[in-house]
């Protein structure tokens, strides 16, 4: 099993450009998440999908959109990138909502720089 995979690993954008970060998991998990990680700020939730067909905003959703394409895939889109979106982005998945032990498994991350 590959676990959680993300593409691309690195990306440089110019202000105003758009791009989509891809995430896929092969663990048959129901829930998927997108986080951003900035120095000293920990992991902040952007959007999550508790189950296929549902998506919800997290702490910092402005400037982002998501699509839960199917049970395996959850993409994050930046419509018009801004320098404030320079960050490391992590995708994660967990088995299903409602479980107390709801370990989240993280992907390897995407390092995004917006010039």
Partner 1 sequence: GENVEQHPSTLSVQEGDSAVIKCTYSDSASNYFPWYKQELGKRPQLIIDIRSNVGEKKDQRIAVTLNKTAKHFSLHITETQPEDSAVYFCAARQGGSTLGRLYFGRGTQLTVWP
Q: Which of 34, 48, 64, 89 binds partner 1 (CB under 8 A)?
A: 48
The two counts, helices (H) then strands (E), for the chain are 0, 11
Question: Two tokens at 10?
Answer: 């690195």
Q: Which of 7, 17, 22, 50 binds partner 1 (CB under 8 A)?
A: 50
Which of 5, 17 has the CB closer to partner 1? Answer: 5
DSSP 72: S
- Which residues 1-30 are close enough to bind partner 1 by CB under 8 A? none
Q: Which of 36, 107, 110, 112 binds partner 1 (CB under 8 A)?
A: 107
8/103 Cα distance (integer angstroms):
24
Which of 17, 44 has the CB closer to partner 1? Answer: 44
Which of 87, 94 has the CB closer to partner 1? Answer: 94
The sign one gets for the Cα dihedral 72, 37, 55, 105 is positive
Going from the C-alpha of 112 to that of each of 2, 5, 26, 105, the distances in angstroms are: 22, 16, 24, 21
Q: Which residues bind partner 1 (CB under 8 A)?
A: 31, 33, 40-45, 48, 50, 56, 58-59, 90, 94, 96-104, 106-109
């Amino acid at each position: 099993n590959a676990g959680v995979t993300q593409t691309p690993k690195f990306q440089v954008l110019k202000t105003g450009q758009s791009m989509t970060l891809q995430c896929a998991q092969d663990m048959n998990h129901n829930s998927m998440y997108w986080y951003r990680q900035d120095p000293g700020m920990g992991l902040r939730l952007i959007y999550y999908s508790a189950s296929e067909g549902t998506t919800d905003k997290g702490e910092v959703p402005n400037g982002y959109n998501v699509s839960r394409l199917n049970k395996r895939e959850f993409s994050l889109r930046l419509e018009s990138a801004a320098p404030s979106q320079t960050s490391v982005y992590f995708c994660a998945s967990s088995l299903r909502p409602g479980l107390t032990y709801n370990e989240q498994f993280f992907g390897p991350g995407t390092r995004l720089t917006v010039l």
